Amino acid sequence: RILLGTYVLSSGYYDAYYKKAQDLRGAIVQAFDGAFSKCDVILAPTVPMTAFPENYAAKDPVETYQTDICTVPVNIAGLPAVSVPCGFGSDGMPVGMQILGPKFSESTVLNFANMYESAARETSFKDTGMGVSL
């Protein structure tokens, strides 16, 4: 990714790729703005899979790159977000949920996360034996 970024920003490519990147960023921002005109927060998966087991070594580098597919658009749009645990997959590994808010709504996002974790603590989490209980 870093090498590709360096290549794209080199002379001769900067104008063409920078403009395309800014156009794409604008489209992403508009899509989120449209969604937030209808709601206060958006709930989405943090990653498209359960957590990797401890000492996991990816066999396929694409698998590692896919872990940020759900968070990259949020970062590109400059939105506040927080990830909270929301249960366990069929493999017993934790699942994360991100809570997104419109620009400058950090307090809303954090308050929602606090309310969610307070409510979920009583009903949906098991003791993992990892020294942390929710």
Residue 58's contacts (CB-CB under 8 Å, 6 or more residues apart) are: 52, 64
For residue 67, the Cα-to-chain-centroid distance in whole angstroms is 9
pLDDT in tens, 95-118: 999 999 999 999 999 999 999 999
pLDDT in tens, 9-65: 666 666 777 888 899 999 999 999 999 999 999 999 999 999 888 888 888 888 778
Indicate whether 130 belongs to any domain: no
The whole-angstrom separation of Cα 33 and Cα 38 is 9
Range with the poorest average pLDDT among 2-11, 70-79, 88-97, 99-108: 2-11
Indicate whether 42 belongs to any domain: yes
Our count of domains for the chain comes to 1
Indicate whether 72 belongs to any domain: yes
Higher-pLDDT residue of 68, 18: 68
Indicate whether 129 belongs to any domain: no
Write out the residue range of the structural domain in which residue 105 sits: 2-123
Structure tokens at 51: 């957590």
105, 87, 90, 80: which is closest to 45 by C-alpha?
A: 87
Q: Is the pLDDT of residue 134 over 50?
A: no
3-state helix, strand, coil in the chain (%, to 5): 45, 15, 40
Indicate whether 131 belongs to any domain: no
Q: Is the pLDDT of residue 122 over 70?
A: no
Q: Is the pLDDT of residue 94 over 60?
A: yes
Indicate whether 119 belongs to any domain: yes
